[in-house]
Amino acid sequence: MTTTEKQCLGQPLFCLRDLSVLQPSNQDMEPRMLQLLLGLHVLALPVQLCEIPRGNSALIKCLNMELLRLSQDLSEELNPSVYVALRLSADHSLEKEAQYLQRLKNVFQPSASSSVAGGQQKQPNTGRLALYLLGLRAACQDMETLLGRQLVTRLKYQLHKEKEQIAFKGNGRPITSYYQYSLGVLALCVHGKKIDTHVIQKLLNAEKHNKFTHGGKLSVDTKAMAGLAFACLKQANLYEPRLVAAISLAVQRVTDRILQAQTTKGTFGNIFSSPLAVQLLIATGMSKKPECPKGMDALLGSLEQGHFQNPMIMSQLLPVLDGKSYLDITTMECRAERDTLELDTKCPESRTVILGPEIITVQLAVVHPPSPETLYNHSIQVSSGSFLQDVLRTAAEQGPGQFTFETQNTLHGPLLTAVMGVKASNGERRYWQLLQAPDTSLQKGISDYQPQDRESIILKFNPW
C-alpha cells in the first residue's frame, strides 16, 4: 500500500473527492480503486468501542459526586486514589479538590515544625506513596522543588528495597506485593523519571514466571497494574531497545491474559478487579476488542445496582467511565477544566432491594490448618443489612475471650489481620481468608460484605 493510500484510509472523506491521486498507471487503476473502496467499506462498518452507552451520564456524575463527598468527609481515611480519580474526571469542583490535596500534603509532606510537634511519623508504604505521586502529577505540581525531589527519591529507595527483598530475602516476593511494586513503577514513569533497569527487570521476571497470583489463582488487578506500568515504560523512550522489546512482549502477554480472564458475565476475574482491567485495555489501545464493551456493560450494570461501595474500587472505576486510564495523567495540563461539579446533585437510587427478616442468623467458623479442629463455630444474630465486620463485633461481644479479632486500616478498607490471637508473623505469607461455606472465596472485605440469613462464613488462615 502506498503512502497516499494510508493517508486516505485515515481520511476517507477527503480522498473520495479526488480518487485520481491513487492512479499510478492505467493498468492497475481499477484494482487499486476497488481495494480502496473495500477498505473504506470496512471502515464504514459500525465498530463497537469501549465507550459509555448514552443515558448513563447522570449515573457517572453521581459516582463522581460520591467521591467528591468522600473527599470532604473528615471521618474518612485520606486516600490519594480518590484524588487521582477526581482529577481525571471530566467535571470538577476545583476548590474542594484543592482542599483535599492540601490535606494529603499535610500527611505525606508534613512540615518540619509539625513533625517535631507530633513526633516521628510513619512512612507510607510503596503503594500509598505511589498513589500520592500520581495525584501530584494529576494536579500538575512542580516536582523539581526540594520536597518534590525528596518524594521521588523516597519512592525510588522503597522500590530498591522491594527489589532487594525479591532478589535475596523474599523467595521471589517483594516486601509489600507486586501490585504495590507495579504501582510504584507506574508512578515514577508517569513523572517521566528513569527507573533502575534492575527494578524493571524484576517486574518483567515476575510477569514471565506467573508470580501475579493470590491464593494460587491469577490476581487480575495485580496483572492489570503491572500491565499499566509496562505500557507506560514502553512509551517512555528512556530505555535501550533490548529492554523496550522485552517490555513490549510483556504488555502483549498481560493484555492477552486479561482478555482470557473475562467471564461469561463480562467481568475480568470479578467485578472488583474489572475497573483496572478495563483501564489497561483503554491504555493499550484494545478498546475495539469485543471484550472491552462487554466489560464496560458489566461495570455499568453493577454500578447501577449499587455494588460499588468501596472508595478504592470506585476511584479506579471513575476514570474508566470517562474513557481514561492512569496513563492519561502523563499528558494532563490542568487548564480550562470544567468547574461544574456540585454536591447537591440528585442521584438515582440503586436497584438493590434487601428483603428478609429484620434479624438474621449467620454461622461463623474459624479454621486454622493444618489443625483439623475448628477453633470457633457459633451462630451470630445481627440486624438485616449488617456487614461482616458487624458480625465479628457481635461475636466478640457475646462471649468475652471466646472470639477475638484485629484489623488494620488500608486504602481498601479494614483488613482482617488476627483471629483468636493468630496472625501472620514477619515474613510469613499467610492471611485470614474469608469464605462462604464450604469453599467460595468472598470478593469483598469485612466492611463491604453483607451476609444473608442462615449463611455460613468461614475464616481460614491460608497461605497466599
What does the pLDDT read at residue 312? 96
270 is in an annotated binding site: yes
* CB neighbours of residue 20 within 10 Å: 8
Cell triple for residue 60? 457517572
Give residue for cell 490519594. 80
Least confident of 28-42, 186-200, 367-381: 28-42
At position 141, the amino acid (one-letter code) is Q
2 is in an annotated binding site: no
Angle between helices 311-321 and 291-304 (to 10 degrees): 130
442 is in an annotated binding site: yes
**426 and 280 in one domain?**
no
**415 and 293 in one domain?**
no
Per-residue pLDDT, averaged over 24-31, amounts to 40
**260 and 193 in one domain?**
yes
In tens, the pLDDT along 384-414 reads 889 999 999 999 998 766 899 999 888 888 8
19 is in an annotated binding site: no
**312 and 179 in one domain?**
yes
**379 and 273 in one domain?**
no
User: What pTM was estimated for this model as a whole?
Assistant: 0.82
Quick check: is 65 in a domain?
Answer: yes
**389 and 304 in one domain?**
no
Quick check: is 15 in a domain?
Answer: no
Angle 136-139-144 (CA atoms, 0-180°, nearest 5)?
55
In tens, the pLDDT along 290-306 reads 999 999 999 999 998 88
What is the tally of structural domains in the chain? 2
How would residue 355 be classed by pLDDT, with cut points 50, 70 and 90?
low
Element (H, E) at 457: strand 455-463
364 is in an annotated binding site: no
188 is in an annotated binding site: no
- Specify the CATH number for the domain of residue 445: 2.170.130.30
pLDDT > 70: what percent of the chain?
Answer: 82
Cell triple for residue 12? 476517507
**270 and 221 in one domain?**
yes
- Specify the CATH number for the domain of residue 270: 1.50.10.20
Where would I find the beta strands (DSSP E) of 306-369?
A: 359-367
In tens, the pLDDT along 131-156 reads 999 999 999 999 999 999 999 999 99
**195 and 141 in one domain?**
yes
Q: Which of 303, 322, 341 is the last residue of a domain?
A: 322
181 is in an annotated binding site: no
Quick check: is 78 in a domain?
Answer: yes
83 is in an annotated binding site: no
**308 and 410 in one domain?**
no
Close Cβ partners of 194 (under 8 Å, ≥ 6 residues apart):
236, 238, 239
- Domain range for residue 60? 56-108+124-322
432 is in an annotated binding site: yes
Per-residue pLDDT, averaged over 271-289, amounts to 94
Report whether pLDDT(444) > 60: yes
**270 and 196 in one domain?**
yes
180 is in an annotated binding site: yes
Least confident of 78-92, 189-203, 418-432: 418-432
